[in-house]
A and B are shown apart, each in its own frame.
Chain A
Amino acid sequence: MVLGFSGALPNFAVGFLSIILLVAAAEIVVKKMEGVAKYYGISEVVIAMTIVSIGTSLPELTIHLVASVQILLSTGVPMDIFGADILQLLIGSHVEVVQKMLEKGLISDLTFQSSQEMFLQKSGTVLGASIGSDVVQETLVIGLVIISSALMAGKKGFRFSRKFLIRDYAPMVGTTLITLVLALNWEGLVKIILGGSGTLSGTLTRLDGLILVSSFVAYMLYLYSTRKESLATQGDVSKSKNPLRDLLIGLIAMGVVVGSADVFLRVVEVAVKETGLSGSMIGVATVGVVSAFPEMITAISGLRHGSEAISLGTLVGSNITNPLLAIGSGAMLSTYAVPEPLILWDLPMEVVLAGLPVLYMFKRDALGNILGKVANKIGLEETSERLKASENQVLSIAGALILILLYFVYLYVRFTYFPQDFT
């Protein structure tokens, strides 16, 4: 029962409303805080690097932090967790730490069981939500933005700048790869390679979280050192006229964000118990899709103002913030158990779905020449000419349509072959 509601339909309605509220309130927080920061004369670059860059990922970030707090609170004695030995705290999982607490008699067997259950389910939900939202953006949303911008401009494709591909698109692939490397159970992999049996799903420990968050800081510093000027033009909110009122509204909206994240996670808990669906699948299908909305709205409004680069920048930027900051800070707080489908399907697919367009756009010219020759040999002269004329750094409408199609393939395989989080 959540907020006094019971039954599948009312719970679904509460869950759905809580995500909408979460995303809408996050938008208000970012706008108000940006206005207040500008009023106090904080530099545009600093605002862009903090409030704006974190802004579009605020729903995911809050869901991670709230879930981590819920995991810690599930022991009943959250502060005692930090009394564990330092190595275990840094490199061990939540279960190992509470197991020690059980041995010391700090918690009961029942509390241990329920804390372990909550750890697995919450980890699955929030990781699924983050990765799900990234995949939606990298395929469906980018595909739609490219098609609409090409159609609006009457062109056949979208030309990416080389700098954009290196500074934004490639790091998006890199961050996913880092998350995969940290989340993988290397011991299990070695066992499987040597012919034994093992699981590939590992744990995102506090040390892993630290690596993710520090990579985010390093990336931000890199951005700061290479494009101070363009950062300063990001964010279109004007200076606040009444900073105290705006600060208050911002704080209330932040309360709504945290509250709705909490309600949403409780609804998922009930849904997992009642429907038998896995937490990560609910995350992928619900928060994943809805939390991609702000980026989509920003991207579309950017297009209307004729600034494709900015709108794609926000979109891609949030896919770097998501794994590094949201997953990283959640892991630093409570550690996460990584569900098997994420290791076997979601994260590898995300690397491929983000990596393929980059490789394709860098090698389009060479690929077009090879295919053009093949087409020439089989007598398709017109096609051959067109293929030979393909240029680097361009994603055509057909390419964007393939990206959109890949999203549906991803979803189909995810729902058909990966129904369980932990076996």
Chain B
Amino acid sequence: MKITDNKIIGFQLAILTAIIISLVFNKYLMRSDYTYELFGVALGSLIATLGIRWMKKKT
């Protein structure tokens, strides 16, 4: 399988959408205690995706 830029952007968007959905889900189900945890997850996955994107660009 070839990793193309579109696939990486797709992966990134999928993660962001999942995070936004879970944040909304979280707020309306009164589970705001998990908001910070989800923020960490969002940031972690963003670093992972951007990192792979950076490596792909540089090599």
* A residues lining the B interface (CB < 8 Å): 87, 91-92, 163, 166-167, 170-171, 174, 177-178, 181-182, 184-187, 190, 202-203, 205, 207-208, 211, 214-215, 218-219, 221-222, 224-226
Contacts and interface: CB of A to CB of B under 8 A. Distances in A.
Contacts of B39: 186
A177 B11 contact: no
B48 A166 contact: no
Contacts of A215: 45, 48
Contacts of B41: 182, 207-208, 211
Contact of B40 (A167, A182, A219, A226): A182
Q: Interface on chain B toward A: helix, strand, loop, or mixed SS?
A: helix
A184 B40 contact: yes
A187 B38 CA distance: 11
**From B1, B49, B56, B59, residue with most partner A Cβ within 10 Å:** B59
B44 A182 contact: yes
B24 interface: no
A174 B52 CA distance: 10
A174 B3 contact: no
A50 B1 CA distance: 16
Contacts of B11: 218
Contacts of A218: 11, 48-49, 52
Nearest to A189: B36
Contacts of A221: 1, 3
Q: Interface on chain A toward B: helix, strand, loop, or mixed SS?
A: helix
A166 B44 contact: no
Contacts of A170: 51, 54-55
Given A182-B40, A218-B52, 9 more contacts: A92-B34, A167-B59, A181-B47, A187-B36, A208-B44, A214-B48, A218-B49, A222-B56, A225-B2
Interface in B17-57: 26, 29, 31, 34, 36-41, 43-45, 47-49, 51-52, 54-56
Given A174-B47, A211-B44, A225-B2, A186 B52 contact: no
**From A170, A177, A182, residue with most partner B Cβ within 10 Å:** A182
A205 B48 contact: no
A335 to B, nearest CB: 11
B9 to A, nearest CB: 13
A150 to B, nearest CB: 26
Contacts of B55: 166-167, 170-171, 222
Contacts of B48: 174, 178, 211, 214-215, 218
Contacts of A174: 47-48, 51
Contacts of B34: 87, 91-92
Nearest to B47: A178
**From B2, B3, B40, residue with most partner A Cβ within 10 Å:** B40
Nearest to A187: B36
A203 B40 CA distance: 11
B58 to A, nearest CB: 5
A87 B36 CA distance: 14
Given A171-B51, A222-B3, A222-B56, A91 B45 contact: no
**From B34, B36, B44, residue with most partner A Cβ within 10 Å:** B44
A211 B45 contact: yes
A299 to B, nearest CB: 23
B59 A208 contact: no
Contacts of A187: 36
Contacts of A211: 41, 44-45, 48
Given A171-B51, A171-B55, A221-B3, A205 B44 contact: no
A145 to B, nearest CB: 23
12 contacts: A166-B55, A170-B54, A181-B47, A202-B37, A203-B37, A205-B37, A218-B11, A218-B52, A222-B3, A225-B2, A225-B3, A226-B59
A91 B38 contact: yes
A222 B2 CA distance: 8
A203 B34 CA distance: 11
